[in-house]
Structure 1
Amino acid sequence: MADIWTACLITLLVFGAALLGLRMRRSLPGPHLASEARDGVVRGTSTISLLASLVLGLLLSTSKATLDNTDRQIQLHAADLVALDQALQDYGPEAAALRGTVREVARRTLRDIWPPAGAPFLGLSDEAVAAALDSLARAALDLPAAGPAQQWARGQMLELTAALRRQRILLGEQAGPTVRPIFLVVLVAWISALFFFYGLHTPANGSTLAAFLVFAVVTGSAFFLILEMDSPLEGILRISSTPLERALRTMQ
């Protein structure tokens, strides 16, 4: 929700800058609006426009990379949960209780990141899940290995449990936000300056106001996408829960 309000604020700032330019145009003497003066402004705004486009593209690329990396980590996490459940099944009936723990880890992870209506969002901060993975590792170490098959299965359990713990740490580090606020502040300042100068050299009429409003909304929506993709575990554009849901169905 905060991302929507931030995008609305940016839209208002950009549109307000254009309105300020349109208003100041009325009070400027004629020489300030002559073609020579306008040509100099056009050259300056072209430079700012190019820089703003480059930075905006960089921020969109960075936030999209954050979204994609987190999505891949969730898919890998779900796949390793299924593989761990399979390794416990391959070990034999002695590991049946541990399979229940793996299913509980998957259920809690699903509920923490995609909570039902009214439930709090815990994300990756649920210590109970981390404790369950630690107990799985200790229990795997305590399991006797009666033959090569059980030795292999126990080795798989230890490897997958360590991978799951490592993935939770990586998800916590990579889940954002990665875009620093100073980049957004500077970029909004640049774009607002552009719209101010555009308004300064554009005649004020209904079509101009409508166009500037549309441009401001498009600009605000671009920042909304940046903010949303930079927090892939929260918000409207958060990543899909399908991999973990499929993993749970597979482990039933």
Structure 2
Amino acid sequence: MVHLLIALVVFVWVFAMAMLGLWWRTHLPDHHLNEESTSTIKLATGLIATIAALVLGLLISSAKNSFDTVNADLVRNAVKIIQLDRNLAEYGPETMPLRQELKINYAKWIDVLGSGRESELQRLETPEMVGEIHHFQHELAGLTPKTMLQEHLQSRCMELADDVFAARWLALLQRRGSIPIALLFVLVTWLSIIFAAFGLFSPHNNTLIFFFVMCAFSAAGAIYVILEMDTPLDGFINISVAPLREALSHIGG
């Protein structure tokens, strides 16, 4: 909702700047819009437009990389959890309580993660859910292997458990995004200048106003996509938990 509000503000602001440019066109003295002035303003606006396009492309790429990184981490997490369960099963029947505990905790984590709401995601950092992780690891470390194979499996399970929970924390740390708000503010300022120049050198008619609306909508949409993809765990554009649910169906059985 916050991202949608920001995009709406950007849309209104840049469109208003285009309308302001149209208003300036009718109120500025003629010598302010002579050929020399027009050429200079167009060159300066072209420079700003080039910089804005480069920054916008970099922000989209950065947001996409953040989204793909978290998605890849969770897919690896799903693979690791299956491997952990299989190693526990191979260890022997005495690990069945651990496997059931792992499945219950993992299902709870998936439900919270799949909610897509910040208020729910904050539960993952509560002492209760963190305590469940520590309890599982202590129970795993407390196993008493009787054979060399069980000793190897216990060591392997502890490594896998560390990987599983490390990926969980990595996803949580990346949920708040990494794109500086100040950079977005500067980008919107550049867009404002560009749209004002568009209005300044355009005749006043409904067709142009319609295209100004479409361009402002496109710019706001780009900002919205950047913000959404930079925070992949919540919002309208978020990662799928389908691989995690698929992994859940294969563990604890």
Same fold (TM over 0.5): yes
Question: SS where residue 124 of structure 2 aligns?
Answer: coil
1:145 match: 145
Q: Where do 1:82-97 residues align within 5 Å? A: 82-97=82-97
- 1 CA distance for matches of 2:126 and 2:72? 21
Q: Which runs of 5+ in 2 are unaligned?
A: none
Identity of aligned residues (%): 29
For residues 216-252 of structure 1, give each alpha carbon's deviation from its aligned partner in whole angstroms, at most 9, with x where no partner exists. 0000000000010011000011100111100111114
1:69 match: 69
1:156 match: 156
Q: Where do 1:32-181 residues align within 5 Å? A: 32-115=32-115, 120-122=120-122, 124-181=124-181
Question: SS where residue 250 of structure 1 aligns?
Answer: coil
Q: 1:227 to 1:241 in 2, by over 3 A?
A: same
1:240 match: 240
The worse-fitting range, judged by mean Cα deviation, of 138-147 and 45-54 is 138-147
Query: What amino acid is the match of 1:29?
Result: P
Q: Is the 8 A contact 1:123 1:233 kept in 2?
A: no
Q: CA deviation at 1:148?
A: 2.1
Q: 1:237 to 1:76 in 2, by over 3 A?
A: same
- 2 CA distance for matches of 1:125 and 1:148? 37
Q: Is the 8 A contact 2:116 2:233 kept in 1?
A: no
Q: Is the 8 A contact 1:137 1:157 kept in 2?
A: no
Q: Which runs of 5+ in 1 are unaligned?
A: none
Q: Is the 8 A contact 1:22 1:199 kept in 2?
A: yes
Matched, 1:212 2:244: no
Q: CA deviation at 1:53?
A: 0.7
Q: CA deviation at 1:123?
A: 5.9
Query: What amino acid is the match of 2:229?
Result: M
Q: CA deviation at 1:174?
A: 2.2
For residues 196-223 of structure 1, give each alpha carbon's deviation from its aligned partner in whole angstroms, at most 9, with x where no partner exists. 1111111110111011110000000000
Query: What amino acid is the match of 1:59?
Result: L
TM score, norm. by length of structure 1: 0.94
Q: 1:116 to 1:237 in 2, by over 3 A?
A: closer
- 2 CA distance for matches of 1:100 and 1:39? 72
Q: 1:30 to 1:238 in 2, by over 3 A?
A: same
Q: Is the 8 A contact 2:229 2:238 kept in 1?
A: yes
- 2 CA distance for matches of 1:169 and 1:151? 27
Moved over 3 A (4+): 119-124, 126-129
- 1 CA distance for matches of 2:193 and 2:237? 30
Q: CA deviation at 1:172?
A: 2.1
- 2 CA distance for matches of 1:156 and 1:220? 49
Q: CA deviation at 1:105?
A: 1.9
CA RMSD of aligned residues (A): 1.7
Q: 1:229 to 1:184 in 2, by over 3 A?
A: same
